[in-house]
Amino acid sequence: MTLGLSASHADACETPSLNEQIQQAMKLKDRTASDISRDKNRQPVKALEFMGLKADMKVIEFNPGSNFWYTKLLEPLLKDEGELIVAGNNAWMKEWLAEIASERLNKIERIAIDMDWSNEKREFSMGTIDFKTSSADMLLNIREYHNLPNENRSTFNKAVYKALKPGGTYVVIDHTRRHMKEESFEVYRREDPVRVIKEVTEAGFDFTKYSTMFYRPDDHLNLELRRKSVRGNSDRFFLVFNKPK
């Protein structure tokens, strides 16, 4: 019995914590200098822990972006006990993955979403939104909510609701727009967090918590994100919602 307890204790000690696993993922070779330069601003250890990420979760990442910054960290955390799915325009994801040439990322399951980009409106154009599951533990919508067209926001949030199991988590992070600020070129890549809370809770979600870790007091919320005074230092809101059990 003593030997058995000792062995169990040793196994437990050998299992790295989520904090340790994230830090190990941050050191993987296919993370570029550009990826690493964003770590200080995006605080992956603190952010993923606040989301409530667990190694055995089924996680959907919506429109991961051309550098797959979050994907590169999520894949090693979920590959053994959990599941990671990236969802978005399939042609975009194929093109981005070909440029990265990462064997581990190419193995990740992908869900094709009926969506494209409108240069005229500076937002997505979207058809049917279907994440093709109802058993996800978490869906991440990171810096993409502002791209959702007005006519599709309710449909999108309801599709997220359908994709998550009861108790599932919906995470929204985006660049902050001042509440009620009118549309313009300067703020088209920003989003009003009050509006997001209203729209997501109207889809049936509970607003669970928020974090101020991405608050930036010197961003006055009125300039385009490529402006020198804002680039890489934008204020972002961090909201967590849950589907009722």
DSSP assignment string, 82-118 = SEEEEEE-HHHHHHHHHHHT-HHHHTSEEEE-SEEEE
Cβ neighbours of residue 160 under 8 Å, at least 6 residues apart?
A: 131, 139, 141, 170, 203
Q: At residue 130, does pLDDT exceed 80?
A: yes
Predicted confidence at residue 148, as pLDDT, reads 98
* Residue 14 pLDDT class (50, 70, 90 cuts): confident
Rounded CA-CA distance 52/171 in Å is 10
- Percent of the chain having pLDDT more than 70? 95
pLDDT exceeds cutoff 90 at 11: no
C-alpha dist (Å) from residue 240 to 27, 53, 140, 182, 193? 27, 12, 10, 25, 12
Strand ranges inside 10-135, DSSP E: 58-62, 83-88, 109-112, 115-118, 123-126
Distances from the Cα of 225 to the Cα of 29, 82, 176, 199, 221, angstroms: 29, 34, 10, 24, 9
As a whole number, mean pLDDT of residues 198-223 equals 97
Q: How many CB atoms lie under 10 A from the CB of residue 78?
A: 23
pLDDT of residue 207: 98
Q: Are β-strands 236-242 and 206-211 bridged in parallel, bridged antiparallel, or unpaired?
A: antiparallel
Chain segment 180-209, per-residue pLDDT in tens:
999 999 999 999 999 999 999 999 999 999
Question: What value does the mean pLDDT take over residues 58-67?
Answer: 96
Look at residue 95 in the predicted model and tell me its pLDDT: 94
Task: For residue 214, report the phi and psi dihedrals to the nearest 5 degrees.
Answer: -105, 15
What pLDDT is recorded for position 6?
Answer: 52
User: What mean pLDDT comes out for the span 218-229?
Assistant: 94
Domains of the chain: 2-242 (3.40.50.150)
Instruction: Give the model's pLDDT for residue 13.
Output: 57
- For 69-94, what is the mean pLDDT? 96
Q: Is the pLDDT of residue 5 over 70?
A: no
Give me 154's structure tokens. Answer: 């309710």
Lowest mean pLDDT among 6-15, 91-100, 134-143: 6-15
Segment 142-155 mean pLDDT: 97
81-93 burial code (b ≥16 CB/10 A, e <16) = ebbbbbbbbeebb
Strands 109-112 and 206-211 come out as unpaired
Contact in structure between 175 and 225 (CB atoms under 8 Å):
yes
Residue 7 has pLDDT above 60, yes or no: no
**Mean pLDDT of all residues in 221-235:** 94
The lowest-confidence range among 16-25, 132-141, 199-208 is 16-25
Residue pointed to by tokens 């279907």: 130
Q: What is the mean pLDDT of the chain?
A: 93
Q: Rounded mean pLDDT of 76-83?
A: 96
